[in-house]
Amino acid sequence: MKGYDDSTYGDSFADVYDDWYEDVSDVNATVRTLQQLAGNGPFHELGIGTGRLALALAQTGATVSGIDSSALMLERLEIEAIKGDMVDDMPVGPFAAIFVAYNTIFSAQTYARQETLFANVASRLAPGGVFVVEAIVPDPQRPAGSTVGVRSMKADRVVLSVDMHDPEAQHVDGQFVEFTEAGGVRLRPWSIRYSYPHELDDMAATVGLRLSHRWVNMNQEPFTSDAETHVSVYTQSS
């Protein structure tokens, strides 16, 4: 998408993120699972945003830090975080667990960038550390082209969802177009390069990480062939 960069998503959604995405995943289940995997850390979240997950994890007494490219997101955060690109500016660690929440890994816009992210994660994990990825399972049958739909509608506000899918590039560019009585029109762009679970597994294997768990969600429900989401846990190969 022309004019889109690493900070565009966060800067565009910072003022509505906590409201719009409050229920995108189970915060309590995420905290339980992360602590089951890595105790009290230290944890590092890639794309920490406003801290929806990290703050809840920190409130248990765990050591948590994060990174985000959006200054507007970080202004709303009350936890230690770095402003920077999650691929290039990842701190050295070592961390007991690095995690990346719902689809944030796909904000790395190419296969090569996602490979580099895995490599950087692997080099920053403590012995026995884990990398936890939460993402959709892309639909291989989704056709190319555009879709338009209504995300939400109120008496004084309408939000439309518009996107363009390129299955060959495994890329989706989208906009939420928000119409309000008071504020007129607001565009909130997003862009992802999605990967299938087996591609993520290949990236992990290349840098010495192996798949140790795969569930549908953070409640650890069993992963099935028709699952639409996955939580994948990668650990260092022995």
CATH number at residue 176: 2.20.25.570
pTM: 0.90
Q: How far apart are CA 201 and CA 209, in angstroms?
A: 8
pLDDT value for 3:
60
Same domain as 210, residue 129? yes
Establish if 215 belongs to a structural domain: yes
The pLDDT of 146-151, averaged and rounded, is 94
CATH number at residue 97: 3.40.50.150
Name every residue whose Cβ is closer than 8 Å to that of residue 184 and which is 6 or more positions away in sequence: none
Range of the domain at 152: 145-192
Check residue 12 and give its pLDDT. Answer: 63
Give the model's pLDDT for residue 13. Answer: 59
Is there a single domain that holds both residue 29 and residue 16? Answer: yes
Q: Are 135 and 203 in contact (CB under 8 A)?
A: no
pLDDT tens readout for residues 59-97: 999 999 999 988 877 887 877 788 999 999 999 989 999
The pLDDT mean for the chain works out to 90
Using the structure block, give the residue that is written with the tokens 């796909």: 106
Q: Are residues 89 and 101 both part of a single domain?
A: yes
Q: Are residues 79 and 163 in the same domain?
A: no
Range with the largest mean pLDDT of 22-26, 70-74, 141-145: 141-145
* Mean pLDDT within 157-162: 93
Q: What is the pLDDT of residue 18?
A: 62
User: In this structure, are 166 and 119 located in the same domain?
Assistant: no
* 84 and 183 share one domain: no
Residue 168: closest CA among 185, 186, 199, 193:
193
Residue 15 sits at φ, ψ, to 5 deg, of -75, -15
Looking at the structure, tell me whether residues 32 and 73 fall in a common domain. Answer: yes
Q: Are residues 107 and 166 in the same domain?
A: no
Domains held by the chain: number:
2
User: Is the same domain home to 186 and 213?
Assistant: no
Q: Beta strand 184-193 with 171-180: parallel, antiparallel or unpaired?
A: antiparallel
